[in-house]
Amino acid sequence: MEMIRNYINGELVPPVGEQYLDNHNPATGKVYGQLPDSDERDVKQATEAALHAFPAWSKTPRNDRARIMMRLADLIEQNLDALAMAESIDNGKPVSLARVVDIPRAAANIRFYATGIMHYASEAHNMEDTAINYTLRDPIGVAGCISPWNLPLYLFTWKIAPALAAGCTVVAKPSEITPLTAFKLSELAIEAGLPAGVLNIVHGLGPKVGAAITEHPEISAISFTGGTATGKTIARIAAPMFKKLSLELGGKNPNIVFADCDFDEMLTTTMRSSFANQGQICLCGPRIFVERPVYEKFKTAFVEKTKQLKIGHPQDKNTKMGAVASESHMEKILHYIALAKEEGGTVLAGGHRVHMEGELAGGWFIEPTIIEGLSYDCRTNTEEIFGPVVTIMPFDTEEEVLKYANATSYGLAGTVWTRDLKRAHRVAHQLHSGIVWINCWLLRDLRTPFGGVKASGVGREGGFQAIDFFTEPKNVCIRIA
């Protein structure tokens, strides 16, 4: 049994209430460990530790903060195999994916902000002969970071790294569905020499631990990634308390294929943008719009490739597709496939739960699924499914496809495939989204603004914007005349 503990004031401790939740392995459906079922008492202790650690950490020279963070990043890399295996067991994702994406990116996030803080500067505004203004950027205090289950360590570090680099202390909560790598990170933080109380990790349920973090009056900012409905709940509580809020929420991204694109490259990448991580990435492109002249060619090739996509044991290094993260999430995805049929859709590939054999018999596996024949504005095409389910639809004009693409309440990312440079720019400018990829997908430069418009969230992560979020500007005006 893998027993997870909270990380509070530099120590690994049991929850105050001594209650635990079961932790499941999605590939077997079986319980393989337990995590603390913490409550507001644990959050209170963690916040007190963070408040106590704040003055010293915020005044620690940025060089020294960076050095400790670099050690933590090194330790993540040294433990790559063990962390990748832990992520795969906990989340159901292929270990091959965790080895090349999740864990290296966690180290990269920490390194990026450890070095970023060394280059972070604030502004000065000169008023000719009258005065000079300069802006101080002080860390905001104790930051609350709440992260989801789809890219567990990757998104957890994406939040805590800029907060720690900025000089904030942190109370963080990973998803209760995938707590294991955050627990392993707490062990590595101790080894790296992170001072007690600088990072505190409280495990448990959203409505208990997440809500207690959101409501705590001494936590000044909330950085959240997760579902749009949860984001609304958090905003309702935090906004009247005047907390700073960064909300990275869901997506229902369009993947727009024009007939003049590099077909093979588009097809290879579209397989990834449809089914990578079992479709559980907020940046996936589950709505595929294809220009009519290549629609039939695309449909045939895409269906054939998808049918070849083998689902396998997530811990087998050759597996490309694993289990979805939880039983309730599997039910949600299956419910949407049933809805798509009710709405008149035809399933061209997949459409079912996969019953594996042997130890995987109880696992939560779903076939990669392609659906055709739906209207652009039906529920299947406007609500977030967040699984290995995509729809395909032909279009005739640029104007028409923009109408389809912008028809959801979400606006996180979009992908456009074309060799026509002018069209690429035109379409990119007109898509309602925070990110547009032209002839690529998930190509990420950590300096770029990351986030969405409309129901996809508020604020931007990435680059110096994340450090701006965890600091408060103060303008000082000095009269010189």
Nearest distance from C-beta of residue 344 to ligand TXE, angstroms? 23
- Closer to ligand TXE at the Cβ: 169 or 230? 230
Report in angstroms the alpha-carbon separations of 342 from 313, 345, 385, 398.
32, 7, 16, 29
Which residue, among 216, 192, 164, 222, has the nearest Cα to 10 in the 3D structure? 192
In whole angstroms, how close is the CB of 201 to ligand TXE at the nearest point?
A: 12
CA distance 375 to 209: 40
**Residue 138 burial (CB < 10 Å; 0-12/13-18/19+)?**
middle
Q: In the bound complex, what is the minimum distance in angstroms from residue 203's beta carbon to ligand TXE?
A: 10
**Does the active-site annotation cover 378?**
no
For ligand TXE, give the closer residue by CB, 250 or 363: 250
Q: Which CB sits closer to ligand TXE, 148 or 414?
A: 148
DSSP 211-257: HHHHH-TTEEEEEEES-HHHHHHHHHHHGGGT-EEEEE-----EEEE
Residue showing tokens 């055709």: 372
Nearest of 152, 145, 154, 158 to residue 209 by alpha carbon: 145
Q: How far is the CB of 173 from ligand TXE (least distance, A)?
A: 6
**Residue among 29 and 457 whose Cβ is closer to ligand TXE:** 457
Whether 303 contacts 367, CB under 8 Å: no
Q: Which residues bind ligand TXE (CB under 6 A)?
A: 146-148, 150, 173, 175-176, 206-207, 210-211, 214, 225-227, 230, 233-234, 248-250, 282, 329, 332, 384, 386
Q: Are strands 2-3 and 30-36 parallel, antiparallel or unpaired?
A: parallel
Q: Which of 119, 80, 131 is closest to 463 using CA atoms?
A: 119
248 in catalytic set: yes
Q: Which residues of 188-225 are buried (b: 16+ CB within 10 A; e: fewer)?
A: bbeebebbebbbbbbbbbbebbbbbbbbbeebbbbbbb
**In this structure, which amino acid lies at residue 303?**
V
Minimal distance in Å, beta carbon 240 to ligand TXE?
15
Please say which residue, 236 or 352, places its beta carbon nearer to ligand TXE.
Answer: 236
Report CA torsion sign: 259, 262, 264, 268: negative
Residue among 145, 282, 284, 372 flagged as catalytic: 282
Q: Where are the strands (E) in 336-456, listed by range?
A: 346-349, 353-354, 365-366, 369-372, 389-395, 413-417, 435-438
Looking at the Cβ atoms of 33 and 174, the one nearer to ligand TXE is 174
Q: How many CB atoms lie within 10 A of CB 474?
A: 11
| Angstrom distance (rounded) from CA 75 to CA 66 | 14
Q: State the nearest-atom distance from the C-beta of 214 to ligand TXE, in Å.
A: 5
> Among 145, 168, 176, 248, which one carries the catalytic annotation?
248
Specify the DSSP class assigned to residue 209.
Answer: I
Name 137's bridge partners: 473
Residue 332 vs 426, nearer CB to ligand TXE = 332
Give min distance, CB of 281 to ligand TXE, in A. Answer: 7
Catalytic residues: 248, 282
